[in-house]
Structure 1
Amino acid sequence: MLDVTHMSVFDTDDVQPHVDNAAQDAALLDAYSHAVIGVADRVGPAVVRVETRRKDAKGRAAGGVGSGVIIAPDGLVLTNSHVVDGARELRLTDSEGRVMEARLLGEDPDTDLALIRADSVRNLPAAALGDSKALRRGQLVVAIGNPLGFESTVTAGVISALGRSLRAQTGRLIEDVIQTDAALNPGNSGGPLVTSHGEVIGINTAIIMGAQGICFAVASNTAQIVLSELIRHGRVRRGFVGIAGQTVAVPRRHALAAAIDNGSGAMVTTMEQGAPADTGGLMTLDVIVRVDGEKVTGVDDLIRLLNAERIGRIVTFDVLRRGMLRQFDVVPTERVSTRPAAAAK
């Protein structure tokens, strides 16, 4: 005899997991959508279109368009240096179409960041800068901006990698850059990269042409440092010692003899006469391996370590000279920024 009851119970148990899985997938997709929508609603009003106005060499009107994010209700806006490109006349347009005149407070081409202020406005919607050191690979992020002129565009992706280095237009490396696969296009530059909690953890800066899903943002912790310097001084101060160099390998026998673990260092190739490095006793062909006890594995480490904190005070350089480790005291002065950057660091 056919056991109908048994078959009925069997079929129900077999179908139920599929129903539950479908419901779970729908719930997860709904949660993802809600996260992106929440970020767009919260941070979107703080994102502005940045337009520059200038005249070219022939006196004709010229300019560019990018994005920016309001970081204070009184109209402070972060964007890219390459968006403003030194322009003094700026115009902002918010998500509601309101147009605001703005002015450049300062820029730092070495990190591709600029600070501008919207004039005659108060109580603007603002976004908060988060802690980029707390990010993890695979974390959901949302980019908001004006790609190709399409205003208030939202794209989502994940953190692809952390701690990247990216060459700025000045030739200096931007450290601790965030790599994301959130879709970016020309016009997104200067817009925010935002976590699902609505915190700005990056300022979108570059797209690799010809690649798919490889985009970069300057980390918010870098932006915090630059922001502080621009507000206080109108520029980002960096140390100058008057040398140019190149990254070279440190022979293992020299490293062992000097009791250091450097596989490479920064070799002094040229030196400005009378500059701090010269008066401090450094010579060409010296290989710098430490600055104030911090390892130098190349020119980029040396650039990073010559920050504002070391201007005007004694800084100890550990160098290999003819295979022997020696120490010299150097007092960096403030580096004069140029566009493009000078060869000496």
Structure 2
Amino acid sequence: MSRTKASKYQTFARAIRREAPQRRLPPPVAADHPPAVETPLDGYSRVVVTAVEQVGPAVVRVHPFRADGAVEGVGSGVIVAPDGLVLTNSHVVRGASLVGLRTQDGRELRARVIGDDPDTDLAVLRAESEMVLPHAQLGDSKTLRPGQLVVAIGAPLGFDATVTAGVVSALGRSLRGERGRMIEDLIQTDASLNPGSSGGPLVDGAGRVVGVATAIIVGAQGLCFAIAANTAAWVMGELLQHGRVRRGALGLVAQQAALPRDLARAMGLSHPFGVWIAGLDPQGPGRAAGLETGDLLTAVDGRPLRGLDDLLRALGPESIGRAMRLEAIRQGRRFEVTVTPRERTPERRLEALA
């Protein structure tokens, strides 16, 4: 190639480079320090994470001691007061007067059993600690609705703050426990309950304890049941005041039931729930007063029965031997009966409220 042509090509190449856009490479990133990426939480995750952050620190592992000092079994519990009140299951601490607690931050505490109530599978402990302990707030379980998101927190197999989530499947369940007794006012949820999580809290989306999980329902594998927080609060008050729970009994098996809107309107009732009688003790006060299977109880002494826990409260210690007036519906007609509750005894295990 001649010198003249080579000069022309060089001039042309320089012109192209001047007009071409200049590409700038990004600055190098160190391989051991990748850029931080914050993944936003979806709505479901935010609810679960918030519930765990609020209640998780109050969840404890519970291990009762035998008379010889050996640890027997393990369960979970939840601190519900800053002075160390702990709710757990009766079957977790059965027969123990002293139990050990392990907090989420690894502290080992001793606690004494204030009282337990096998009829609701609840027990109340008092932790021995000079420090203010993290605690959870008891919510109003009556505000729960089927389909509502709930979170179960426990310490299965000794691990701390294990979480499962699900929805409320049903309310006001009455199921028979391992000793043949009926446990009332249960919340059913599909949030799985792992071994060792029994006694742990069931939490709503606002971070309030709405139930205490129980795992002693015969034949209930794959399902989680929890004692409603309203019932737990009442039992805790009785145990703190009296050391035991005395109850009246009507001699019936009952479940919470929804009132059909048309029926409620026709009967002049404003509340959406009542108490449905599923069975009666032939020798019980309810049968003697004229109640029948299938009756729907709507009020006691003029107070509406908006759920099974309302009837359980009405059958407190003061109800024993005192006549009460029940309002009910049978085959679309309202009627009233007067019934005198007797004291519930452990021997009558086939009765739900006796």
**Match of 2:224?**
215
How far the C-alpha of 1:115 sits from its partner, in A, is 0.5
Aligned equivalents of 1:270, 1:154: Cα separation in 2? 45
Pick from 192, 197, 203 the counterpart of residue 188 of structure 1: 197
> 1:145-224 to 2 correspondence within 5 Å?
145-206=154-215, 213-224=222-233
TM-score (norm 2): 0.66
**Match of 1:83?**
92
How far the C-alpha of 1:137 sits from its partner, in A, is 1.8
Q: Please tell me the residue identity of whatever aligns with 1:107.
A: D
Pick from 105, 110, 115 the counterpart of residue 114 of structure 2: 105
**Match of 1:33?**
45
Structure 1's 126 and 285: CA in aligned 2 closer, same or farther, altered over 3 A? closer
**Match of 2:128?**
119
**Is there any run of 5+ residues in structure 2 with no aligned partner, and where?**
1-38, 255-274, 305-309, 328-334
Structure 1's 229 and 263: CA in aligned 2 closer, same or farther, altered over 3 A? closer
Q: Please tell me the residue identity of whatever aligns with 1:199.
A: R
Q: Does residue 108 of structure 2 align to residue 96 of structure 1? A: no
Higher helix share: 1
**Match of 2:236?**
227
**Match of 2:258?**
none
Aligned equivalents of 2:178, 2:217: Cα separation in 1? 14
**Match of 2:62?**
50
DSSP-derived class of the 1:223 partner: helix
Structure 1's 136 and 266: CA in aligned 2 closer, same or farther, altered over 3 A? closer
Aligned equivalents of 1:293, 1:188: Cα separation in 2? 40
Deviates more, 1:201-210 or 1:102-111: 201-210
Conservation of the 8 A alpha-carbon contact between 1:265 and 1:287? no
How far the C-alpha of 1:161 sits from its partner, in A, is 1.8
> Cα RMSD (Å) of the superposition?
3.9
Conservation of the 8 A alpha-carbon contact between 1:79 and 1:114? yes
Conservation of the 8 A alpha-carbon contact between 1:45 and 1:94? yes
**Match of 1:11?**
none
Conservation of the 8 A alpha-carbon contact between 1:266 and 1:302? no
Aligned equivalents of 2:117, 2:229: Cα separation in 1? 14
Q: Please tell me the residue identity of whatever aligns with 2:61.
A: R
Deviations 1:98-126 (A, max 9, x none): 01110011111101111010013331101
How far the C-alpha of 1:151 sits from its partner, in A, is 2.2
How far the C-alpha of 1:91 sits from its partner, in A, is 0.7
> 1:222-261 to 2 correspondence within 5 Å?
222-239=231-248
Conservation of the 8 A alpha-carbon contact between 1:166 and 1:173? yes
Structure 1's 326 and 147: CA in aligned 2 closer, same or farther, altered over 3 A? closer
How far the C-alpha of 1:314 sits from its partner, in A, is 3.1
Aligned equivalents of 1:115, 1:202: Cα separation in 2? 14
How far the C-alpha of 1:292 sits from its partner, in A, is 6.1
DSSP-derived class of the 2:214 partner: strand
Q: Please tell me the residue identity of whatever aligns with 2:43.
A: A
Aligned equivalents of 2:168, 2:217: Cα separation in 1? 16
